[in-house]
Structure 1
Amino acid sequence: MGASLQPRGGGPGRRRRQPMSEINVTPMVDVMLVLLVIFMVTAPLLVTGVDVELPRASSPSLDQDNTALTVTVQGDGRVFLNQTEVTLDALAARMDAITGANPEARVYVRGDEGVAYGRVMAAMGSLYDAGYRRVALITRPPSGAGDTGAAQ
């Protein structure tokens, strides 16, 4: 039986471990890159709506109201309340269900420029008959020098 005469903690070739004072950020960077990719893929999917070609008009723009409802009349004559398709007969009942029969609710009407004028007016008439008086039409701003979307 032998006894070691070296001091506890190591011999001449061993050093005492120092606590690490740096943070390893590699796992955090990996997680952030994965989250970035996920948000880049899902962000375009969050902006959904009913696709219509709005007519152009030079009217002044209204203040934005995030609580407003949107009635859309597509080019084929189908009517949508926000993103849900409804019939003209059911439009007033659906509006009452959403707004709690509040006639002061703001309603935006978006009509495709190729749809018959009478179809848009029928939707607006249905809203008016239901008691909604704060109805506004949505248009695109007039084509200007910076507009390259117009065909020549």
Structure 2
Amino acid sequence: MAPPSNLEPDQGELHSEINMIPLIDVMLVLLIVFIVTVPVITHSIQVQLPHAAATASAPAPEAVRLSVDAQGGFHWNDAAVPDAELMPRLQALAQQVPQPPLHLQGDAAARHERVAMALAAAQRAGIERLVFVTQP
């Protein structure tokens, strides 16, 4: 082999290459280990489970829809509700067991102040399940 000359373009440059052979070896070993161990994991102990008598579950409570129209009026399931009657209705709803969810719908033209008022009233009444209804 001839000694390097000054005319060679690669003189003094570093060549960094990733050696893929060890990585491939490790991946093949892991693949073989997983193939061997998967059938061992799927075998389980046979257990005789007890049978429970079928009990009727309580029906889920129907959601209550509280809407705020464009003029700022409140509607409880499509029935108009005065401001003074809103809080007692929310408190009665919060006392129900299980508590039905409250779906809050705000008209796009409604003032945010009225929607925030409904949200604050629901929080003060103790409503735990509140859903904001929007259009997709």
With normalisation by structure 1, the TM-score equals 0.45
Higher relative contact order (CA 8 A, sep 6+): 1
Q: Which has the larger Rg?
A: 2
- Which of the pair is proportionally richer in helix? 2
